[in-house]
Structure 1
Amino acid sequence: MARNPERRTALLDAAIEVLADEGARGLTFRAVDARAGVPTGTSSNYFTDRDQLLSQVGERIFVRLTPDAASVDTALRPEPSRELVAELMRWTARRMVAERTCYLGLFELRLEATRRPELRDRLTTVLRADLDENTRLHLAAGMPGDAETVRLLYLALTGLFLDHLTVPGLHAERELDELIDTVVTRIVPTDRPPLTASGG
């Protein structure tokens, strides 16, 4: 049977909403069909089983979360500096807020991956590729710091975003941008290396 790619995308977007709202246990074909407003049984015509649905939901989340190349190029135009790193992190945070459902869905997928080795392997591959690409962009742009700097930013901001989306009151006295600035200041080195004892 020929399948409509637009319908598949709509089903995956509906599945992301179900995942974010009800968790992995609530992600059934019937729930996806209801959320997408299509006849019962539609999802089962597009996905062979729940594992395939979960895997393709993960791929769709990363498609939605990945900024287009032109936006990345524009964001990287200013002179490389620690302040630019902070601005890029704030830009990421704004995209996170705009795609809140996707990030919550991704957190649910991470939890589900602890019980599904194939999903874990797929998420590991995709997340590693994303981290590698961020590292490549950071170094190619001449930003301060090295690959380990990018890894530490990733670890810190993943935790920060998790708190912001799941327990926003935990840091209620501090704005997200302020927390990002603190993270970047503590992790990213100053723009210029310190002078040696000889002044060279």
Structure 2
Amino acid sequence: MRRNQERRAALLDAAIDVLATEGARGLTFRAVDARAKVPAGTASNYFANRDDLLTQAGARIYEHLQPDVATMARSLEGPRDRARVAELMHELIGRITAYRTGYLALLELRLEATRRPGLREVLTERIRRDLDANIDYHLRTGLPGDATTVVLLYLAINWLILERLTLPGVFTEEELHDLVDRAVERIVPERPSGA
């Protein structure tokens, strides 16, 4: 059974690579088999159909993007102020852009979701759940701001990541770093809500 799970993970990683390099239209069972370097027909044995493959690839991207235990522990160190929020945003951008393939594949999935209601439903539920978890974490740990603070950071940081990965020449690394700091400065209040 373990080997089957490893094969499934390898096929999903291959699907993510195909999505990032060829786009959603290039995602076929044949393309996944070729990218995973497995015999033809292997992917079709693991996934019921293309929608199943798209949905599971999306879930696999989120597995890769989750911060590890050490990162989560570090996020709780030190004061809960704007500077801490800026550090967290820089860490987030670094972690996500380090997995460029996954983020680009996720963008392809979002575009494909405009044409596939089932995929749209799955992605909407997953992204809303993650956003709610981020809001809960922010409030529970005493970081400054409220739910709206988290949503505005989410929107701003996502677009900065998009620029960095798709049009890296628009801003220098120094400009991007400064933009993150300025976004935090303008969005996050100096003191926690209710303090």
Share of identical aligned residues, percent? 59
Structure 2 letter corresponding to 1:109:
L
Asked if the contact 1:3/1:46 (under 8 Å) is kept, the reply is no
Match of 2:178 in 1: 178
Asked if the contact 2:142/2:192 (under 8 Å) is kept, the reply is no
Match of 1:132 in 2: 132
Deviation at 1:164, TM superposition (A): 1.1
* Correspondence 1:36 to 2:36: yes
SS in structure 1 at match of 2:79: coil
Q: Return the alpha-carbon distance in structure 2 between the equivalents of residues 43 and 173 of structure 1.
A: 39
* Correspondence 1:112 to 2:105: no
SS in structure 2 at match of 1:175: helix
Match of 2:56 in 1: 56
Q: TM-score, normalised by structure 2?
A: 0.94
Asked if the contact 2:14/2:36 (under 8 Å) is kept, the reply is yes
Match of 1:121 in 2: 121
Q: TM-score, normalised by structure 1?
A: 0.91
* Correspondence 1:76 to 2:90: no
Deviation at 1:192, TM superposition (A): 6.5
Deviation at 1:65, TM superposition (A): 0.5
Q: 1:86 to 1:170 in 2, by over 3 A?
A: same
Match of 2:190 in 1: 190
Deviation at 1:176, TM superposition (A): 2.2
Give the alignment's Cα RMSD to 1 decimal: 1.8
Deviation at 1:47, TM superposition (A): 0.5
SS in structure 2 at match of 1:4: helix
Deviation at 1:173, TM superposition (A): 7.6
Structure 1 residues not aligned, in runs of 5+: 194-200
Q: Mean alpha-carbon deviation: is it higher for 51-60 or for 154-163? A: 154-163
Could you list the runs of 4 or more consecutive aligned residues of structure 1 that deviate by over 6 angstroms after TM superposition? none
Match of 2:15 in 1: 15
State which structure, 1 or 2, has the greater radius of gyration over its C-alpha atoms. Answer: 1
Match of 1:197 in 2: none
Q: Mean alpha-carbon deviation: is it higher for 183-192 or for 25-34? A: 183-192
Structure 2 letter corresponding to 1:105:
A
Match of 2:154 in 1: 154
